[in-house]
Structure 1
Amino acid sequence: MQTRADHISQLTSIQQFDIIIIGGGASGLGAAVDAASRGLKTVLFEGSDFAKGTSSRSTKLVHGGVRYLAQGNIKLVKEALKERGLLAQNAAHLFNNQTFIIPNYKWWQGYYYSFGLKVYEFLSGKLSLGKSRLLGKTKVAELLPSLIKKNLSSGVSYRDGQFDDARLALNLAQTAALKGAVILNYFKVTGLLHDDNNSLNGVIAHDLETENTFHVNGKVIINATGVFANKILKMDGRKKDGFKIVPSQGIHLVLEASFLDSDKAIMIPKTSDGRVLFVIPWHNKVVVGTTDTPNIKPNYEPKALDAEIEFVLQTASDYLTKKPTRKDVLSVFAGLRPLVAPEGNKQNTKEISRGHKIMVSDSGLVSIVGGKWTTYRFMAEQLIDQAIITGALKYKTCQTENLSIHGNVDNLLNIKPAHRYVYGSDLKALESIESQHQNHAKILHPNYEYTTSEVIFGVRHEMARTVEDILARRNRLLFLDAKAAIEAAPLVAKIMAKELKKDDAWAVEQTKTFVELAKGYLIN
């Protein structure tokens, strides 16, 4: 990807954009790829880093949603299963065809879930990832050695997708840039511009690094800010549109791999609060989650509640022979789902649809709320179709169904170090940096294989601007082991300071800022 300075230069050289996108998460980045690939002049502004919010805090699944099938939402499941199959083709370097097992402790559950998953498999059609199977208790015990065996009756295995959410977001930003879009992080939209008829015709964008402010003209403005969508709607003068955004918090606990001791994942189909809970291998750790807790104050760093932590630990302990406790948690992260419900809705958040909604305000502001990572491409297609209508732009059909996402290769399963599969086709460029100097192969922390070269690559080619950008989203150390991330922060700051031509004071301040943030990922 070009440098941030290159994108700012492009920003100032274009008099009017066709599409201005506010928000650099899954929805906004997907829209940028779609719009740019149709030949529309596109700019995206993200007030923080790409996927800083919800889009880096998912359960790391690309799935149709077995729970939605049980709720009878066939349309959403079918859409998601198609998109799951397309992502497996278009971003093969990030996609893992993961085996999940539902353990059954009552005789009838095996037949019940086996039937449901055959329907799930059927709905995926030609894009199926593999067949589901009813397993005997002996086979389940063999595949999941850490599972409690008492009263185990059977199990059902099925396939679903797994991915690295923050890395996909970054690859989407790179793809959009390669298609000609201007993509800028740490650019905050502080105002909307209207013409004499009160129709939107631009935004005021503030560069948080230089403190420069830009008036940017555009034919269509897209609000893709997730749980923060209300802020942009209010900026536009919105009163009530017959819907409300209902943020729902989900948390995840990260444990050592020994708690699962398997490359198979566990899906617990019905917890005590009526949700699904997953125990999933990821980057040589285990991710356990998630919860569904209403949260009325959206923020970038939501905190896991003690009750949520205890719920996840207790539920995991009900199924695992090695019981996790608070001291075993390496990292805890929370994200907010931007659910959308009709005004006056009093349902529990777990009962609100994960479908998306696209709205057009009187001013012409096009907003998207709801949805999930799996369907980001389909959501973007519908969003840009609507933007074309709203702005009376020249229509061109969507190009993304078979568009290869930056990094897309499918032969990196056995690379060393193993975590580098996320670089895909960029791996050679990374290795080139590493070969330039012996210090570039220096590891950032003794317990992990992340290296100096990956920090340099993140600054030069992935628009990383802060220590958090590197340790949270270019690599995932903060999410995998918060204590190790804190210990690695001073070295990362030093490397970045050299690359960004910053002084020692910058490195000290960056380290301090990151450490304070990372403490929120530790359990006291």
Structure 2
Amino acid sequence: MSNKTVKPALATDRASLIKQTQSEVPFDMVVIGGGATGLGTALDAVTRGYRVALFEKFDFAKGTSSRSTKLVHGGVRYLAQGNISLVKEALHERSTVLNSAPHLAQPLGFLMPCYKTWQVPFYWTGLRLYDTLSGRHSLGKTEILNAGKTRSLLPNVLSSGLVGSVKYWDGQFDDARLALAIARTAQQEGATLLNYCEVVSIEHFQDKVSGVVVKNTESGQTWQVKSSCIVNATGVWVDSLRKMDDHAAGREPRKMVAPSQGVHIVVDRSFMSSDHALIVPKTADGRVLFAVPWLGKVILGTTDTARDQPLTEPQALKSELDFILKESAAHLQKAPAVQDIRSIWVGLRPLVRPQNTNEGNTKSISREHTIISSATGLVTVTGGKWTTYRVMAKDTVNHCIKAGVLADRATVCTTDTLRLVGAQSGRRMTQPISQAPGLSIYGDERDQVEATEGAHNQLAEGLTEAMVRFAARYEYARTVEDVLARRCRMLFLDAALATQCAPQVAQILQSETGIDPQLDAFLSLAEHYRTIPYL
């Protein structure tokens, strides 16, 4: 990977950023949607020399991109489905992600406990193929461990009948902060990105897209942004944008996305005091169960439930929580109960809907991405998975060039060798992401954070006044939720603790931004993350 000199953090002054998008000069590309795919597309395009603007209705990564299982992986389950091409691509991209932001993405060992003798060679054979497909990007050799070694690495694993385990390697990451690093790197390269700016209409000239009308959701101000290249990267919401575009042309688009809901619960490390993850490849209903150490807690999940409508804050179903708790109890000596849950979060996957989709079954739908152009020239990208965000972005920019909505400047994608903000010195990080968070999440910028006022005023473990101020000045943070959900991950780790910290965070944010930091809205949201459906 190429190294760059560490640059001082760029200010994210909102008034200045808005002014940059109000120029009469058209942008080469306007990206709608500030999740992993949209941010990656903006970064790819700007590094090829294009003038790029990106607008996000809420905060960057508020939706799917902050609610993953926190794994950078090739997809063992996709190997079992026979999707070799997707696995090979994801394994290559896993390596790229780990090298581009080692403070936010790192290797993680996974153990697959076996309770029948035949399972050991069976799973070992499949995972050795996984190793082979990774080639020079392998993170470690697949091993067979006996029962004693398995218990030493996973002290709380169910011992009764344990034959041993198969250990293999994948990666884990801080998804929201990686998305933020992509956004800030795009800004550093010259793109203009704005959160809390909603695209309320798509403009057309002679039946082709010509720009968008943007609304500042904080002030209500609207303005027009001109571009003949509009990319719809809104994830599970792409159909709403396509409808906006096609209605202007008098058409009704076919739905592209079949949303799938994934639920995760968080419990204390006492339920798995390990820096290794546990994977159950086939649960009672055929789904995969993970127990992943992450930022000082343990994530248990996930589910795969079809949903009719994409919601900003989807709710966990009782059946989903029952499934996670029941399967956890089947594989852990000491199993968590409902009262042990620290936080619950739900993410929606933007699965591409084939023509003959069975509406009730999303487990079999491909996780590969799709890019299409409408008759008006609107480019829509959806599907895929977090690990392959960079390839999705590269394919999207290439598609725009091939479709003739983006000028061909004979440039090539260089994001495979680009270090992201926080990793530009090339210095390797030592603190595992499995441990409680601290200054390590800032990578190269930790000295700048420590030099910010309030560095010694600790609001809670892993959060200081300086971190809140840094988030407001350099990380686009506008609300308490932005800070406690995505700049630091407290809401996802311990919703009750986040509730306690919220008033202090609100006070600091208001002094920085001069606007209402939406404390009451956050307290209501935190209650949502604490709510057990049947209590």
Q: How many residues align?
A: 512
Which residues in structure 2 correspond to 1:397-436 (within 5 Å)?
Answer: 397-408=412-423, 409-414=426-431, 418-433=437-452, 436=453
Q: Is structure 2 residue 501 aligned with structure 1 residue 482?
A: no
Shift of 1:14: 5.3
Shift of 1:256: 0.2
2:246, 2:253 within 8 Å by CA — same for their partners in 1?
A: no
> Which of 521, 525, 528 matches 1:517?
525
2:242, 2:253 within 8 Å by CA — same for their partners in 1?
A: no
Q: Structure 1 residues 417 and 252, CA, compared in 2 at 3 Å: closer, same or farther? A: closer
Give the 3-state SS of the residue equivalent to 2:227 in structure 1. strand
Residue in 2 aligned with 1:188?
A: 198
Q: Structure 1 residues 372 and 499, CA, compared in 2 at 3 Å: closer, same or farther? A: same
Residue in 1 aligned with 2:237?
A: 228
| Counterpart Cα distance in 1 of 2:89 and 2:462 | 38
| Counterpart Cα distance in 1 of 2:121 and 2:254 | 42
Shift of 1:417: 7.8
Residue in 1 aligned with 2:476?
A: 463
Letter in 1 for 2:212: V
Gaps of 5+ in 1: none
Gaps of 5+ in 2: 1-9
Give the 3-state SS of the residue equivalent to 2:363 in structure 1. helix
| Counterpart Cα distance in 2 of 1:153 and 1:240 | 57
Letter in 2 for 1:246: A
Which residues in structure 2 correspond to 1:58-97 (within 5 Å)?
Answer: 58-97=68-107
Residue in 2 aligned with 1:343?
A: 355
Letter in 1 for 2:309: K
1:147, 1:320 within 8 Å by CA — same for their partners in 2?
A: yes
Q: Structure 1 residues 123 and 307, CA, compared in 2 at 3 Å: closer, same or farther? A: same
Shift of 1:343: 2.3
> Which of 283, 297, 301 matches 1:285?
297
Shift of 1:244: 2.9
> Which of 388, 391, 394 matches 2:408?
394
| TM-score of the aligned structures, taking structure 1 as reference length | 0.95
Q: Is structure 2 residue 199 aligned with structure 1 residue 213?
A: no
Give the 3-state SS of the residue equivalent to 1:219 in structure 2. coil
Letter in 2 for 1:464: A
Residue in 1 aligned with 2:509?
A: 496
| Counterpart Cα distance in 2 of 1:419 and 1:116 | 37
Which residues in structure 2 correspond to 1:356-375 (within 5 Å)?
Answer: 356-375=369-388
| Counterpart Cα distance in 2 of 1:325 and 1:349 | 28
Output one character per residue of 1:304-361: Cα deviation in whole Å (capped at 9) or x when no partner.
1111011101111111111111100000000000001212311710110111100111
Shift of 1:501: 2.3
1:250, 1:290 within 8 Å by CA — same for their partners in 2?
A: yes
Q: Is structure 2 residue 213 aligned with structure 1 residue 204?
A: yes
Question: After TM superposition, what 4+ stretches of structure 1 lie above 6 angstroms from structure 2?
Answer: none
Shift of 1:158: 0.5
| Counterpart Cα distance in 1 of 2:427 and 2:93 | 18
Give the 3-state SS of the residue equivalent to 1:52 in structure 2. coil
> Which of 232, 236, 246 matches 1:237?
246
Letter in 2 for 1:331: S
| Counterpart Cα distance in 1 of 2:261 and 2:185 | 30
Letter in 2 for 1:198: D
Give the 3-state SS of the residue equivalent to 2:421 in structure 1. coil
Which residues in structure 2 correspond to 1:257-406 (within 5 Å)?
Answer: 257-346=269-358, 348-390=361-403, 391-395=405-409, 396-406=411-421
| Counterpart Cα distance in 1 of 2:202 and 2:307 | 27
| Counterpart Cα distance in 2 of 1:219 and 1:200 | 6
Identity %: 46
Give the 3-state SS of the residue equivalent to 2:462 in structure 1. strand
> Which of 110, 124, 128 matches 1:100?
110
Letter in 2 for 1:204: V
Residue in 1 aligned with 2:5?
A: none
RMSD over aligned Cα atoms: 1.5
| Counterpart Cα distance in 2 of 1:237 and 1:405 | 36
| Counterpart Cα distance in 1 of 2:189 and 2:110 | 36
| Counterpart Cα distance in 2 of 1:501 and 1:519 | 26
2:236, 2:259 within 8 Å by CA — same for their partners in 1?
A: yes
1:242, 1:343 within 8 Å by CA — same for their partners in 2?
A: no
| Counterpart Cα distance in 1 of 2:67 and 2:24 | 34
Residue in 1 aligned with 2:50?
A: 40
Give the 3-state SS of the residue equivalent to 2:312 in structure 1. coil
1:242, 1:342 within 8 Å by CA — same for their partners in 2?
A: no
Output one character per residue of 1:114-148: Cα deviation in whole Å (capped at 9) or x when no partner.
01111101111111111110111111111111001
| Counterpart Cα distance in 1 of 2:272 and 2:172 | 17
